[in-house]
Amino acid sequence: MNYLRTIALSLSLFLVGLVGPIQAQLQMNFYANTCPNAEKIVQDFVSNHISNAPSLAAALLRMHFHDCFVRGCDGSVLINSTSGNAEKDATPNLTVRGFGFIEAIKTVLEAQCPGIVSCADIIALASRDAVVFTGGPSWSVPTGRRDGRISNASEALANIPPPTSNFTNLQTLFANQGLDLKDLVLLSGAHTIGVSHCSSFTNRLYNFTGRGDQDPALDSQYAANLKSRKCPSLNDNTTIVEMDPGSRKTFDLSYYQLVLKRRGLFQSDSALTTNPTTLSNINQLLKGSVDSFFSEFAKSMEKMGRINVKTGSAGVIRRQCSVANS
């Protein structure tokens, strides 16, 4: 009899193990019963405001990326710290914008459905909607993410790929998140919209190896233009520069064309040409259509949006996105 009880217990635990993860997965229209208008509320808010600040599309996309690369897509990038050691206090996040925008959406959702919709899902939905409303690709955003309560600056610094990354560093940091080289190339394509601060790349112009030199992998004419018209000194921390000059408001393939011309703004852009696989991926994208790029980009965004998500009973639903224990 004890033997039979042991078998029954083992079987029940096995079945729980099977059912648990299935119930805890992200799913389309996760809030259909608990907050039916959740996704429309996010979409309408983005639609009503993005025309006044179209640059937010790139900013929210970057926020989503930075959130997912640290502790998974759990909204921890939004948390404030009184001691200055949260993710948003780390160097990679000092120029991230859109925190107030996400909090404003959260306020509307809390008024409609208190304690239901996670901050992590708001980032995922709003970044997609903002890109779509500015003419970029759409992608599926399954929901059901829950929020984290831990946010460490040191983890952001260790996990978010810096613009000074070489290929090896990029490959490692993406692989750590379950992303491959194709994802690396496609997600880098987000640099087709938006701007950067001079401080993210002036080492390439003025002090690449610590000897006051210029990065030889950067087109010399482009470098001269950046020095004379954009970033006149190594210490410029305020001037902003288009990542895809002449096309920064259009989600297209021109970023990849510039990378092949050695006119990618960051060292990490240039690094994509130093590996045969990523270089081949770029050439394949350029042989195809913009629609094909959109389709492939969408797949990588969906994959990124699932990184280490908290679902089911893991995590919490923060009532205020900037407060860990709200």
Point out the annotated binding site for Ca(2+).
67, 70, 72, 74, 76, 87, 192, 244, 252
Q: Which residues are annotated as a binding site?
A: 67, 70, 72, 74, 76, 87, 161, 191-192, 244, 252
- The residues near 98 (Cβ < 8 Å, ≥ 6 apart) are 56, 59, 60, 63
In angstroms, what CA-CA distances link 308 with 147, 188, 269?
A: 12, 20, 26
Name the token pair of 83: 């001691």
**Maximum alpha-carbon separation in the chain:** 85
CA separation for the pair 259, 274 (Å, rounded): 11
- From the list 96, 160, 148, the residue with the least C-alpha distance to 120 is 148
CA separation for the pair 180, 199 (Å, rounded): 28
Q: Which residues are annotated as a binding site for substrate?
A: 161
Q: Does residue 64 carry a catalytic annotation?
A: no
- From the list 201, 162, 195, the residue with the least C-alpha distance to 69 is 162
Q: What stretch of H or E contains 91?
A: none
Phi, psi torsion values for 272, nearest 5 degrees: -65, -20
| Helix, strand or coil, per DSSP, at residue 66 | helix
Catalytic residue among 49, 64, 66, 197: 66
Paired with 240 in beta bridges are 197
* Angle (CA) 239 102 312, round 5°: 130
Residues with a catalytic annotation lie at 66
